[in-house]
Structure 1
Amino acid sequence: MHSLLKTTLLILLLTSTLLTQGCASSQGGGDTSSAIMNNLVIAEPLTVNFKSEIAIARLSEVINNAQISDEQRAQLFYDRGVLYDSVGLRSLARFDFTHALRLKPDLIDAYNFLGIHYTQLQEFSQAYEKFDSALELAPEHEYAYLNRGIALYYGERPELASLDFKAFHQKQQDDPYRLLWLYLTEYEVDPLAAKYSLKQRAELVDDRIWAKQVIYLYLGEISQGQFVKNLTKNVRSNKELTERLCEAYFYLGKYNQTLGYQGSAANFFKLALGTNVYEFVEHRYAKLELDLMRIQKANNTQP
């Protein structure tokens, strides 16, 4: 109930922000505040799966009581860390990943997870170090390229980030999410060239994949109102809808940032957070986006 109330309040805040902007047809593809708000979609936030809670309890019992090797214990710490991460208990997850690496220093995925967490904490040097360690051990670990690219992107090193995203995109060129992160990074370097490249690369993405709608939005081929109106198409469950909204509202937040609508962007990031889809990249970095926006605002108000 508390999560639903929080989400409702965020909608009201978003309405207020959009109403102060009036018509956005000159920059936002013909959107108006009413067109977006009349179609805004809300789903029930995901709740913690009781199976995850049981699994955490069982792993804890084995870790504390079983007579096992250090390598086995390291794997159990890692497994419990993944479960902690999946339910939003980031600090406990970091503790377990760190402990796993002390017992087994070549546990590649633990480096990858720690790099993600350090990125979220804006400790970028440590994040780069962890991803570098993962790639030294496994040069073909494609998600280490994604995650290091994200760290470089938020660490304001877009040229280097684009190299990692290109490597990640090359592994599966029809994946819209790989394409979107590459676009976001290239946009920081050259917006016009980034949009041209997005259009060319998007030809490989199947039109039936819902995330192709994000690409159409970024290319200016559909409006924000049309994008929001289409969010429920072919959705078969509340879980599927909640996961889609987590992604959609994050990318709407990034889109509004490019238009200079910081208030709307912030509220879309809050709506993404309100889905509780902790494992999604978009949920992880919606919080970081808000943190960075608060820092920027504070810096701008300093005398």
Structure 2
Amino acid sequence: MVLGGCSSPGSQTGWAYPPMAVPLQPTVQQEIHIARISQLLLRKDLDDAVRAKMHYERGMLYDTLGMRDLARLDFNQTLSLNPAQPDVFNILGVYFTQIGEFDAAYDAFDSTLELDPNNYYAERNRAIALYYGDRIELAQEAMVKHYEQDPSDPFRAIWLYVIEHEQDAELARQHLLERYEDRTSEWSWMLVAIMLDEVPEKEAFKTIVEGAQSNEELAQRLTEAYFYLGKRYHLDNELGNAISLYKLALSFNVYEYVEHRYSFLELGRIFNQVTEQRK
């Protein structure tokens, strides 16, 4: 673990070196597991249920390692053998959101919720897909419902703020401040504080680094923190800082976190925005 500087990359305070973790790498156990599953899938005597489970397990391993095209192949294979898998539809919905195929994403999330009406990950991801697909009113309606189911969840509060910000920035901030005042002791509320700029960034990252028990946990927390701080700068139209922070969120290789996935999407949105401005 390396901590240096501990302040914003922006012009207000200036980071010499941002807080970092060693990027996550494939483990020997993961590689061996993939090899074993691949060998077993060559057998002709597997029934469909077992083969579907093995494709799912290998797909999840591929996804964790950032090999998303291979993961999608396995997820499509497992669905062809057993279509009643809500978690698979959910992750495919996230994939479709990443690449901007929003109609396919909505269909995938709808399939998840038909199979598992209480799948709150799919509820959140669908609202986020609606946001990225510029269906703001529908996104806000879905996220309000999602937030009201569990107001103690800081991620619900953050994404509701992001969506509400598209409608009324000042009102969105007021609402998030009210939610922040009713926060629990869960560490993730620090991410809300970062979004609101309620605590100095130096203090926020010091808390994040000191609270991590391992390099893996530090990488996960920094992925989240850099993404949401980047989103804050992005909403303030400080695109240079946003780009730097999204790249930092990507740097730790926490492929399975949506904050890693959506950092790619946000960078693409900035590229398109700048291209349009130049035109």
> Between Structure 1 and Structure 2, how many residues are aligned?
275
Question: Which residue pairs with 2:30 in the alignment?
Answer: 52
Question: Which residue pairs with 1:99 in the alignment?
Answer: 77
Secondary structure at the residue paired with 2:210? coil
Unpaired runs of at least 5, structure 1: 5-10, 23-31
Q: 2:18 matched to 1:33?
A: no
Counterpart Cα distance in 2 of 1:81 and 1:164: 29
Contact 2:112 / 2:119 at 8 angstroms: preserved in 1? yes
Q: 2:56 matched to 1:82?
A: no
Counterpart Cα distance in 2 of 1:102 and 1:285: 28
Counterpart Cα distance in 2 of 1:215 and 1:42: 20
- Counterpart residue identity of residue 242, structure 1: A
Question: Which residue pairs with 1:27 in the alignment?
Answer: none
The 5 A counterparts of 1:9-24 are 18=10, 22=11
Counterpart Cα distance in 1 of 2:251 and 2:260: 9
Q: Deviations over 1:236-284 (max 9, x none)?
A: 2222211111111101100111222101100100000001111111111
Q: 2:171 matched to 1:203?
A: no
Q: 2:269 matched to 1:289?
A: no
Question: Which residue pairs with 1:131 in the alignment?
Answer: 109
- Counterpart residue identity of residue 276, structure 2: N
Q: Which residue among 104, 120, 125 is the counterpart of 1:147?
A: 125
Instruction: State the 1:163 CA deviation.
Output: 2.6
Unpaired runs of at least 5, structure 2: none
Counterpart Cα distance in 2 of 1:173 and 1:95: 37
- Counterpart residue identity of residue 192, structure 1: E
State the Cα RMSD in Å.
2.2
- With 171-180 and 239-248 compared, the bigger mean Cα shift is at 171-180
Question: Which residue pairs with 1:259 in the alignment?
Answer: 236
- With 257-266 and 73-82 compared, the bigger mean Cα shift is at 73-82
Contact 2:195 / 2:229 at 8 angstroms: preserved in 1? no
Counterpart Cα distance in 2 of 1:45 and 1:220: 27
TM-score with structure 2 setting the length: 0.90
TM-score with structure 1 setting the length: 0.84
- Counterpart residue identity of residue 216, structure 1: A
Percent identity over the alignment? 40
Contact 1:166 / 1:182 at 8 angstroms: preserved in 2? yes
Question: Which residue pairs with 2:217 in the alignment?
Answer: 240
Q: Whose relative contact order is higher, 1 or 2, with alpha carbons under 8 Å and at least 6 apart?
A: 1
Counterpart Cα distance in 2 of 1:78 and 1:105: 12
Instruction: State the 1:39 CA deviation.
Output: 6.6
Counterpart Cα distance in 2 of 1:173 and 1:113: 24
Question: Which residue pairs with 1:114 in the alignment?
Answer: 92
Question: Which residue pairs with 2:192 in the alignment?
Answer: 215
Counterpart Cα distance in 2 of 1:298 and 1:144: 32
Q: Which residue among 42, 46, 64 is the counterpart of 1:64?
A: 42
Q: Deviations over 1:17-61 (max 9, x none)?
A: x4xxx4xxxxxxxxx233xx0472111111112222122112112
Secondary structure at the residue paired with 1:243? helix
Question: Which residue pairs with 1:276 in the alignment?
Answer: 253
Instruction: State the 1:203 CA deviation.
Output: 3.5
- Counterpart residue identity of residue 167, structure 2: V
